[in-house]
Amino acid sequence: MLRTCHVAPTARPDSHPRKRGVLAAALLLAIAALCLLHPSPAPAQALLTEEEKAWLAANPDKLTLSFDRNFPPFEFLSPDGKFSGLTADILHLVEQRMGARLTAIPAADWPAQLRMLESGETPVVPVIVRTAERERYAQFTPPYSDVPTAIIGRRNEPGNRQLDDYVGRRVAVVKGYVSEAYVRERSRDGRIEVVTVPNVQAGLRDVSFGVVDAMVENLAVAAHYIDSEQLPNLKVVGMTDLAYPLGFAVSRKYPLLCSALLKAYSAIPPEEMERTRARWIRLDTGGLLSPDQRRLLRVAAVAAAVMVAWLALVTWVLRRRLREKVAALDHARRKADEQATRLSLVLGATNAGIWDYEPQTGSIYYSPEWYTMLGRQPDAPPHTYEGWASLTHPDDLARATAGLEAYMASGSRGDYESEFRMRHANGEWRWVLGKGQTVAWDDSGRPTRVIGLNMDIHNLKQHREAALESERRFRTIFENAPYSIVINRMSDGAYLDVNRAFLASQGVDREEARRGDPLRFSGASPEEATAFRRAVRNQGGLHNVATRILRGDGTYGHIIFSSVPVSFGGEEAILSITVDVTEMKAAEEALKTSEEKYRAIFSNAPIGIFRTRYDGSLLDANPALARMLGYAAREELLGLNENRALALHPHPAQRQRLLDMLRETPQGVRMECQLLRRDGSAFHAIINASLQSDADGNPAFLDGTIEDISIRKQAEEQLRQSEQKFFQLFHLSPDAIVVARLADDTVRDVNQAFIHMFGFTRDEVLATPASELAIVPPGATLRAPYGQARRDGAVRNHEFSARHKDGTPMNCLLSCALLPIDGEDHVVAVLRDITQIKKMQEVIIQTEKMVSLGGIAAGIAHEINNPLGIVLQAAQNMAQRTRPDFAKNVAVAQDMGLDMELLARYMRERKLDVFLADIQAAALRASAIIRHMLEFSRRSESKRKLCDLPGVLHRALSLAQSDYDLKKSYDFKKIDVSLRMDDELPPINCTETEIEQVAINLLRNAAQAMATADPPVEAPRIDIEVTALPGGVRIVIADNGPGMPPEILHRAFEPFFTTKAPGVGTGLGLSVSYFIVTKGHGGRMEVESSPGQGTRFIIELPVDPPADSTPEVSP
């Protein structure tokens, strides 16, 4: 617990000290009397209903509680097997007020607790956070504790860390805890690798040993386990905004138990709950007065006021001042307690303690955590320098003391730091890091107070020493290996370090090798050296590469080398191990010609060969075995007095297992295991051994070989990772992939994209010949691409027609290649559905044709306008010049002797005047049609503006009536078209040609539907209605045609969907119209239809469409 300091307020000078003393004495006497007369009350019983009491009495077997045996300080199983912790004490208070006892049952793990709560098997869980999911099956009490959640990391981590700092790193959470969901929600789309652990201890150990980078957990629990598990290299590196509001949960399957327990929980006084909580989570809420004392003080004040009326005014003033001071001190106390609690948790989590040293007096204060760090009871050593010195290692005492004295002699500015050993209560000497800083000086500048921190760094020190020992062992192996080992810089190949074997083989010293040209020793060209370094970097290393080299004396030799990328001195480098296998090659050749050279083979074999007695003593071994085990020569191995064969095995049980197998099969066994080298390092090996018996039939000798398969194990792991990558690519590919045996066309595997594309189930596809799946139309085959694959080994982008299982046609693109699997040739085929791409290409081609046709139509319209203007002008002139009331006409007729009245009568009788009027009307109508066509074709001029909506609809109707394609199948004039508009329509800001296009599309569709209806529509009719809306306009275009069934209606606005014959429609009319209305003008477009009831399109356009709804201008 942290020390709590209370600062008393400064007293004001009092002019009447005697009166104040009398008053204080009177008050103290009154308080003491009331305290004596006011006994401690018994726990108040909760007001349970008779039904609740009866249920509790009748169901004792249901009164069970499940708890986590490893979640201190909240709940845990004590050494004597009892339910203990904060919740155990709170449960005792609940049981007192409920009048019933609950049986505590330890759960296997946290997920098991949740399952038992949800099923009602154990109806009560005492430590749980309320969530929306859990509220489905449980009710919750108010929280009894709200502890913050921290990020726990290793001591070398910087402080003030946040979850965002762990992107690309591993963060541990306990499976099923609220912290798991919290971290996963903030994992930046999976960029933080979330690692679940079974419990808090396992997660903290993983952080300590570097398995994960951090852990997110309840600060109180983490602090407890860091202390109990002795993990001094951990600390709190950051806080989160997640808190643990912990409370009780009761299964909803027992409503009467829920209500009874909630009542009993609510009956616990807050001050008693606070005292219970403070005992376990160190939230010391010490203050000047408790709530009971303040209540008694008020009662005493009232009594004193009644008894001494003349002191009433003074008592009121004193009480008012007291309340103000108590409130201020209570606020300061809560703040101090909060900071003290956090500091205590942090110190507990980091296994550290505080010391406060006064140099001039020699006294030292140690915090409780300081004693806990050393496993000692408070005040065990004296609070003096001598007390500290008595616990410090004699070898470190003088150095630590000299460092502190030098620090204070230098003016005590800056920080003091020293490492030394201190004796733990168990007798162990543990390394401690001491850091301090002077915070007060006297007038002469000498330090008067130094405050600091002692931190247990024993485990960290051991890890450092282990790392140094590992480096020493590596250097020993590196220098004494019998084969060449070199380290080259990755960038240019320069030698950074070489071992003695390399220097001996090349006849140079170390400095000459480092300064020399690296190509001189390798014999490779610059291009080959660059390619080699690139291969090592890209492939992660080259292993057991055998090659032929030209030696300096002109002869050829054989080597086997392995190279891996490493970091050396902060640079990218390559570590290469080269074994000269020229002699082994020669021995292999000699073995083919003569069995007499057994000893040469024995001496030069690449694997270890041995003979041992049955008791394990080594009789013979070849040099390969000696090198494998870390010896320079076989003689060194054979000259050892120790039983080397027994020392090979990490555990005696492993060799015993080998002997048991040999007794069952003495002619020979094969066992894969791990063996130990001379330096104690383990390696994977295969032992092939046989058992030889003596003349009496007793086991006598073991003959066999040992093969180092460490490299093969690495290759197997790389192969496993490669297969895992292929598996993920295969099943996650958006293209369909199928693997089929080449010999009989049997499908071996398909991915999910193939199932989705063709509609088959996996059971229908697997073990079925691909030709029987009918993925191509009848009469079509894939023999050509399969033949090319057999011939060339691969096919790229072969386009063919395919079909879905339900017969839907599609276009596919096929790429395939031959791949050997399990010794048989297989075809791996990748299929891509390009149906939509083909449709889009056709639409683009059709669009280009329509653009060209529009340009041609515009040109023709211009050409027609010229003669049409002449016809109109001539007709107008003829009508003008035959008028009998025109003076010029009368004058010319009189000169010719022509009676104009007779001419006019003749023209009326022969209806020439009607013909002229018809010519004029036809010419004007043709001119209007051409003008509308030109306006509609000028799409580049479609700009949004206030449009004349009635005019737009009239022009659309006029163009539809003159549509040649419609006239071929149905005369638009036979359709009764009605157009009704409101008198007051709001102005609409739109692109006229686009709205005109929408209206033409709808009119054309209605006319074509009625023209092709079976049976024919007797009285075809189209109704157009335009009405004003609040903030917009509604346009309804309805027909009495055949209508649409539901399966067509819901696809009406789908691109490329059409019910027309091929070549008649593209399926884009309604989708383009829908896009123009909704996306282009921010409006709505709907369709209503049913078979035989006609079709009704509703368009609603806003007065001022959104600024971002303006579409791109169509070409």
CA separation, residue 18 to residues 22, 23, 314, 957 (Å): 6, 9, 14, 111
DSSP character at residue 1057: -
User: Of 278-287, 374-383, 783-792, 814-823, which gets the smallest average pLDDT?
Assistant: 278-287
User: Which residues on neighbouring strands pair with residue 826, listed in sequence order?
Assistant: 741, 819
Contact, 393 vs 422, CB < 8 A? yes
pLDDT, residue 1066, reads: 63
pLDDT, residue 293, reads: 40
pLDDT, residue 343, reads: 60
Q: What's the pLDDT tens digit per position in 40-81? A: 455 667 788 999 999 999 999 999 999 988 888 889 888 888
Cα–Cα distance for residue pair 988/1077, rounded to 1 Å: 13
Q: What's the pLDDT tens digit per position in 1089-1111? A: 999 899 999 999 998 765 444 44
User: Which one has a higher pLDDT value, 212 or 557?
Assistant: 212
Cα–Cα distance for residue pair 619/702, rounded to 1 Å: 10
CB neighbourhood size of 489 (10 A): 17
**Single-letter code of the amino acid located at 66:** S
**Position 335 confidence tier, pLDDT thresholds 50, 70, 90:** low
**What would the CATH number be for the domain defined by 481-580?**
3.30.450.20
The DSSP annotation for 589-629 comes to HHHHH-GGGHHHHHHH-SSEEEEEETTS-EEEE-HHHHHHT
Instruction: Share the mean pLDDT of the chain.
Output: 81
Q: What's the pLDDT tens digit per position in 435-485? A: 888 888 887 878 888 888 888 888 888 877 877 787 788 788 888 888 889
The whole-number average pLDDT for the span 841-845 is 66
Identify the H or E element spanning 1106.
none
**Position 104 confidence tier, pLDDT thresholds 50, 70, 90:** very high
Residue at token pair 């008020």: 298
pLDDT, residue 252, reads: 93
Residue at token pair 């490492």: 419
User: Which one has a higher pLDDT value, 823 or 254?
Assistant: 254
Cα–Cα distance for residue pair 555/596, rounded to 1 Å: 27
Q: What's the pLDDT tens digit per position in 363-372? A: 888 888 888 8
Tokens standing for residue 383: 């609070």
Cα–Cα distance for residue pair 70/82, rounded to 1 Å: 12
pLDDT, residue 596, reads: 63
pLDDT, residue 705, reads: 93
CA separation, residue 784 to residues 113, 169, 743, 744, 791 (Å): 63, 51, 16, 17, 11
pLDDT, residue 938, reads: 54
Tell me the fold of 733-829: Beta-Lactamase (3.30.450)
User: Of 8-12, 249-253, 377-381, 955-959, which gets the smallest average pLDDT?
Assistant: 8-12
User: Of 85-94, 859-868, 925-934, 1009-1018, which gets the smallest average pLDDT?
Assistant: 925-934
pLDDT, residue 829, reads: 92
Q: What's the pLDDT tens digit per position in 294-310? A: 454 455 445 555 555 55
Whether 36 shows a pLDDT value over 50: the answer reads no
168: left (phi over 0), alpha (psi -120 to 50) or beta: left
Cα–Cα distance for residue pair 115/1066, rounded to 1 Å: 58
Cα–Cα distance for residue pair 625/677, rounded to 1 Å: 10
Whether 939 shows a pLDDT value over 50: the answer reads no
pLDDT, residue 1114, reads: 33
Exposed, middle or buried by CB within 10 Å (0-12, 13-18, 19+), for 1035? buried
352-462, superfamily in CATH?
Answer: PAS domain (3.30.450.20)
Give the start-to-end residue ranges of the domains of the chain. Answer: 147-245, 352-462, 481-580, 605-714, 733-829, 840-926, 944-1109
Q: What's the pLDDT tens digit per position in 905-916? A: 888 888 888 888
Tokens standing for residue 494: 């320069």
pLDDT, residue 190, reads: 77
Task: Give the rounded percent of residues in the chain with a pLDDT score beyond 90.
Answer: 22
The whole-number average pLDDT for the span 151-177 is 90
pLDDT, residue 1038, reads: 95
At residue 1057's C-alpha, the angle toward residues 1056 and 1063, to 5°, is: 70
The whole-number average pLDDT for the span 502-520 is 80
pLDDT, residue 30, reads: 44
The DSSP annotation for 105-121 comes to EEESSHHHHHHHHHHTS
The whole-number average pLDDT for the span 170-180 is 90
**Position 841 confidence tier, pLDDT thresholds 50, 70, 90:** confident
User: Which one has a higher pLDDT value, 124 or 588?
Assistant: 124
pLDDT, residue 102, reads: 93
Q: What's the pLDDT tens digit per position in 594-631? A: 666 667 777 777 889 988 888 888 888 899 988 988 89
Cα–Cα distance for residue pair 343/98, rounded to 1 Å: 37
Contact, 1015 vs 975, CB < 8 A? no
Cα–Cα distance for residue pair 45/63, rounded to 1 Å: 18
Residue 806 neighbours by CB under 8 Å, 6+ apart: 759
Q: Where would I find the beta strands (DSSP E) of 290-425?
A: 352-358, 363-366, 415-423
Out of 1.10.10.10, 3.30.565.10, 1.10.760.10, 3.40.50.10490, which CATH number does the structure's domain 944-1109 have?
Answer: 3.30.565.10
Whether 393 shows a pLDDT value over 50: the answer reads yes
Cα–Cα distance for residue pair 157/150, rounded to 1 Å: 14
User: Of 311-320, 736-745, 972-981, which gets the smallest average pLDDT?
Assistant: 311-320
Does this chain's domain 147-245 share its CATH topology with 944-1109?
no
Which range scores top for mean pLDDT: 765-774, 776-785, 833-842, 974-983? 974-983
Whether 31 shows a pLDDT value over 60: the answer reads no
Q: Which of 53, 84, 57 is nearest to 71 (CA)?
A: 84
**What would the CATH number be for the domain defined by 147-245?**
3.40.190.10
User: Which one has a higher pLDDT value, 828 or 293?
Assistant: 828
User: Which one has a higher pLDDT value, 509 or 928?
Assistant: 509
User: Of 6-10, 42-46, 418-422, 432-436, which gets the smallest average pLDDT?
Assistant: 6-10
Residue 24 neighbours by CB under 8 Å, 6+ apart: none
Whether 2 shows a pLDDT value over 60: the answer reads no
Q: What's the pLDDT tens digit per position in 760-776? A: 888 888 888 887 788 88
Whether 23 shows a pLDDT value over 50: the answer reads no
Exposed, middle or buried by CB within 10 Å (0-12, 13-18, 19+), for 552? exposed
Exposed, middle or buried by CB within 10 Å (0-12, 13-18, 19+), for 690? middle
The whole-number average pLDDT for the span 899-927 is 83
pLDDT, residue 1087, reads: 93
pLDDT, residue 917, reads: 83
Q: Which of 69, 58, 110 is nearest to 257 (CA)?
A: 58
Whether 525 shows a pLDDT value over 60: the answer reads yes
**What would the CATH number be for the domain defined by 605-714?**
3.30.450.20
Whether 796 shows a pLDDT value over 80: the answer reads yes
User: Of 725-739, 743-757, 836-850, 969-983, which gets the smallest average pLDDT?
Assistant: 836-850
